[in-house]
Amino acid sequence: MDFFTAIEQSALFLIVLAPIAGALLTMFTSRERPQDAWHFAILVSAITLALSIFIFVQYDFRAGGYQLTHIFRWLGYPLDINLSLGVDGIAAPLVLLNGIILFGGVLVAQTIKRRSRDFFVLLLALGGGVFGVFVVRDLFFLFFFYELAVLPMYLLIGVWGSSTDFGTFRRTKEYGAMKLMLFLVAGSVLIWVGILALYVQAWKAGAPTFDMSTLAEMAQRGDFSEGLQRWVFPLFMIGFGVLAGLWPFHTWSPDGHVAAPTAVSMLHAGVLMKLGAYGIIRVGMELTPAGAEAWMPVLIGLGTVNVLYGAFSAMSQGDLKYVIGYSSVSHMGYVIMGIATLHPIGVGGAVLQMFSHGIMTALMFVLVGAIYDRAHIRDINVLNGLVKRMGAATFFFAIAGLASLGLPGLSGFVAEFMVFTGAFKEYLPLAVLAVAGAAVTAVYILRLLARSFFGEADPRWAHLTDLSPVEKGVAGAFVLILIAVGVWPEPLLRVINTGVASLLKVF
């Protein structure tokens, strides 16, 4: 077995192992030289990035199905839990997304000076958890990694975050971190119950297992009665929906962003929220298809609320991070809508939107973080004329903003277009509302650009320096991805289409 096949066979395992092992090893870097931890984390995340690219490229979209599969026996009967790995056309792009964002996040975390070692330990652990969710095929491990991805958030926000006084109310980092954590774990309570319900059902059907492929087969065979699915699916829908920012369970997200440091916000909005949507697809739709079918009208309704509510909320926010936070809520609404269409184009659009929004919002947070680092302020009514001092930041932010409002040629458009298309076929009135929501997005993005970036240069911001080379590099790379996907989405879409097609076979 040559090196290449060896990598191929263990790529999925390695991509989960690498960040977690990296996190453990980071603990042993020198406390006196914080840069060491950063450099080491860069190395680790570069490896994961390489692996994620490898996995994505290696995925054969013609063959479809789950690939690069591998099973590590873990616990036998009666639990039958195994570390079963595999990616399909839906997971592969998300693995790539996480690889990119983790790498970018680590790079821009250079500004973390205090206890930087701990920071990277947690950040890498978070990354490992996210990879885990995307590549496992076992409910236990999916949940395991899901929680693992949530766990570090508390400390990452609590320790390295910032508290903000908004005059009429305060948002401390403790509050943000605690709320985020409790919300996400509350969501996982529901997921957990749902998982157990399925397991019990599998037990009754004579084959207790947590293996998702087997469970999916059982679902198709009709071992899970429709009544069961009808009450289990909402558990998944809301449980994972919390993480996806599903209205009205979204408030943790903007507050979390406001408190979180840059790299954490990037991962939070960039990939963590995608876990939720991914969970609805992977667990909800795959394992309880009948329940999904019954509940999708509700879900798409909530998704539409997300879109409009998020957009309108974003419009009157004064804090850059709140704007982006609510904008994420709004954009995740498109993802949710796309999923809920159960239409191949809509679901495909949702997956593409996850990728696109991940990059876009990460880019925005890089820039907001850079501004905050320099100006120590995020109030869009106070910031203005940044273009004079931070030309590059403005340029990148403008592109991210344009991507956010669905400008064609950037990735957001293709995704949103597909979501609209799917929704248009299935739920016409809601699709109309969602399309209108896209126009609202333009309002707040342009308002933000006009207020904070363009406009007279304020002497208060005369001391600001433009992006550092690292930040420029990260932002530039993200912009390139946005454009590349916008102009030629086929490489992603052909993979996504395969995955979505086999996902939707049962509907």
Query: Restricting to residues 156-175, which ones interact with another protein according to CB under 8 A?
Result: 158-167, 169, 171-174
Number of residues that bind another protein (CB under 8 A): 113
- In the bound complex, what is the minimum distance in angstroms from residue 137's beta carbon to another protein? 17
Binds another protein (CB under 8 A): choice among 43, 53, 205, 443: 443
- At 165, phi and psi to the nearest 5? -105, 120
Closer to another protein by Cβ: residue 358 or 437: 437
User: Of 333-362, which residues contact another protein (CB under 8 A)?
Assistant: 343-345, 348-349
The 10 Å CB-count burial string (b at 16+, else e) for 281-318 is bbbbbbbbbbbbbbbbeebbbbbbbbbbbbbebbbebe
Closer to another protein by Cβ: residue 54 or 481: 481
Span from 37-45, 149-157, 279-287, 330-338 in contact with another protein (CB under 8 A): 149-157
- In the bound complex, what is the minimum distance in angstroms from residue 384's beta carbon to another protein? 10
Residue 108 in 3-state DSSP? helix
Determine, following the binding rule CB under 8 A, whether residue 318 of this chain makes contact with another protein. yes
Determine, following the binding rule CB under 8 A, whether residue 447 of this chain makes contact with another protein. yes
Determine, following the binding rule CB under 8 A, whether residue 377 of this chain makes contact with another protein. yes
Contacts 24+ apart (CB under 8 A), 128-131: 128/16, 128/17, 128/18, 128/19, 128/20, 128/22, 128/23, 130/98, 130/102, 130/267, 130/271, 130/272, 130/275, 131/15, 131/16, 131/19, 131/48, 131/52, 131/95, 131/98
Host H or E run for residue 71: strand 67-75
109 within 8 A of 126, measured Cβ to Cβ: no
Span from 98-106, 150-158, 216-224, 353-361 in contact with another protein (CB under 8 A): 150-158
Q: Which among 391, 390, 369, 387 has a CA at the least distance from the CA of 378?
A: 369
Determine, following the binding rule CB under 8 A, whether residue 234 of this chain makes contact with another protein. no
Q: Which residues pair with 84 in a beta bridge?
A: 71
User: Of 207-226, which residues contact another protein (CB under 8 A)?
Assistant: 208
User: Of 37-66, which residues contact another protein (CB under 8 A)?
Assistant: none
Q: Which residues pair with 67 in a beta bridge?
A: 87
Q: Which residues pair with 171 in a beta bridge?
A: 164
User: Of 243-262, which residues contact another protein (CB under 8 A)?
Assistant: 248, 251-252, 255, 258, 261
Binds another protein (CB under 8 A): choice among 143, 233, 236, 397: 143
CA distance 192 to 56: 30
Closer to another protein by Cβ: residue 46 or 432: 432
Determine, following the binding rule CB under 8 A, whether residue 507 of this chain makes contact with another protein. no
Closer to another protein by Cβ: residue 5 or 381: 381
- In the bound complex, what is the minimum distance in angstroms from residue 58's beta carbon to another protein? 20
- In the bound complex, what is the minimum distance in angstroms from residue 4's beta carbon to another protein? 28
DSSP per residue, 148-197: HHHHHHHHHHHHH---EE-SS-EE-HHHHHHHHHHHHHHHHHHHHHHHHH
CA distance 43 to 32: 19
Residue 251 identity (one-letter amino acid) = T
CA distance 241 to 245: 6
- In the bound complex, what is the minimum distance in angstroms from residue 134's beta carbon to another protein? 16
DSSP per residue, 190-205: HHHHHHHHHHHHHHHT
- At 71, phi and psi to the nearest 5? -125, 130
Q: Which among 260, 274, 193, 268 has a CA at the least distance from the CA of 228?
A: 193
Closer to another protein by Cβ: residue 54 or 118: 118
* Burial group, residue 463, by CB count within 10 angstroms (0-12, 13-18, 19+): exposed
What is the distance between the terminal CA atoms of the chain, rounded to a whole angstrom? 41
User: Of 13-32, which residues contact another protein (CB under 8 A)?
Assistant: 20
CA distance 22 to 131: 14
Closer to another protein by Cβ: residue 54 or 249: 249
Determine, following the binding rule CB under 8 A, whether residue 10 of this chain makes contact with another protein. no
Alpha helices in 342-389 (DSSP H): 344-375, 386-389
Binds another protein (CB under 8 A): choice among 21, 46, 47, 193: 193
Binding mask 70-109 for another protein (x = CB under 8 A): ----xx-xxx------------------------------
Binds another protein (CB under 8 A): choice among 18, 96, 133, 155: 155
Binds another protein (CB under 8 A): choice among 60, 217, 226, 490: 490
Closer to another protein by Cβ: residue 222 or 409: 409
Span from 35-43, 273-281, 287-295, 311-319 in contact with another protein (CB under 8 A): 311-319
Residue 467 in 3-state DSSP? coil
Determine, following the binding rule CB under 8 A, whether residue 436 of this chain makes contact with another protein. yes
- In the bound complex, what is the minimum distance in angstroms from residue 210's beta carbon to another protein? 9
- In the bound complex, what is the minimum distance in angstroms from residue 380's beta carbon to another protein? 9
Residue 149 identity (one-letter amino acid) = A
- In the bound complex, what is the minimum distance in angstroms from residue 364's beta carbon to another protein? 17
Span from 7-15, 354-362, 400-408, 460-468 in contact with another protein (CB under 8 A): 400-408
